[in-house]
Amino acid sequence: MTIPTVSLDSPREDVAKALRDACARGDFFYLEGHGVPESLLDKVLEQSKKLFDLPTNEKESIFDPILQRGYTRFESETLDPKNQSRGDTKEGFYIGEEAPQEETDAAKLHGPNVWPQTAGCALSQDQCNEFRETLEQYRAEARRAALKLVRCFALAIGQSDPFLLDKYFTQSRSFIRLLHYSAEPSDEKNGLFACGAHSDYGMLTLLLTDENPGLQVKRDDGTWIDIPPKRGSFVVNVGDMFERWTNGLFRSTVHRVITPQGAGDRYSVPFFFDPNFDALVECLESCCSDKNPPKYPPITAGQHLLNMYGKTYADFDNTEEGKK
């Protein structure tokens, strides 16, 4: 199977058609022409490796369980509990939207990030600064590309105005997640996966990955196909939230990561782009009719994400008691 490629620097109408063709089939696609410098992509992966090379106790100190920021340990995430005998053989580091301490709203996962500090880890002050500056620059660039993509999606769902969805993204939410997969081989028969089978919770994911393989997508017939890495390109997929919004027109596809025998460590960086926390996700007018009524009840974007976090993360506690 050929993985579709979409060039974001093509005419908007051409991009919209390519998006509709790919996402209606549930395809992942490569995104080129996104404008994020390749040198920055390389630097993000380099900074990720430096972070994960720190001793475990130092990484574990960079963690906020209430705002779901910072380090997540190996096997803390089980994305396919019915088929997994252990948690995912990966560790992660979450970086959300930056906000001042005084604006913290735990109920909305809104507040400051946790960053490596010289007092708690072996990195120098210059290295800590470089890590933060790189990731903040990357967020700005990835967000710009994602919003441009959203405007093409507006046309792809049959709207004449590419800015139709902009009102839902005035205070958009984005999460960067640095991921490090260990070299431990996956064993499907015994329920061991680098990343268990799942669909993404949110609206849109732009994935940066190194040169190592492992990502697989499930087809309608139950078979799995590889999505090879492609230097300089993002691997893009729509998530559950956008499937709800489009009434199933665009499909959120199940995927997983398998570490092959003899493979090395793998690094990837998904950028999750979502609408305002309070945005109401209900069927868009162009995606339903008398013959095709809404399939999903309305829900706010934020509540949808909170519901899914609670089902997935062993360390996640967004209850009133957990916020204390």
Q: Is the pLDDT of residue 317 over 80?
A: no
CA angle 231, 232, 235 (to 5 degrees): 80
The tens digit of pLDDT for each residue in 166-214 reads 999 999 999 999 999 999 999 999 999 999 999 999 999 999 999 999 9
Report which DSSP code applies to 101: G
Rounded to the nearest 10 degrees, how much is the dihedral formed by the CA atoms of 206, 53, 312, 277? -50
Kindly report whether the global pTM for this prediction surpasses the value 0.85.
yes
Q: Are 304 and 48 in contact (CB under 8 A)?
A: no
Q: Is the pLDDT of residue 307 over 70?
A: yes
Model confidence at 322, pLDDT cuts 50, 70, 90, reads very low
% of the chain beyond a pLDDT of 90: 87
pLDDT at 21: 95
pLDDT at 75: 95
Q: Which residues pair with 226 in a beta bridge?
A: 216
Model confidence at 318, pLDDT cuts 50, 70, 90, reads low
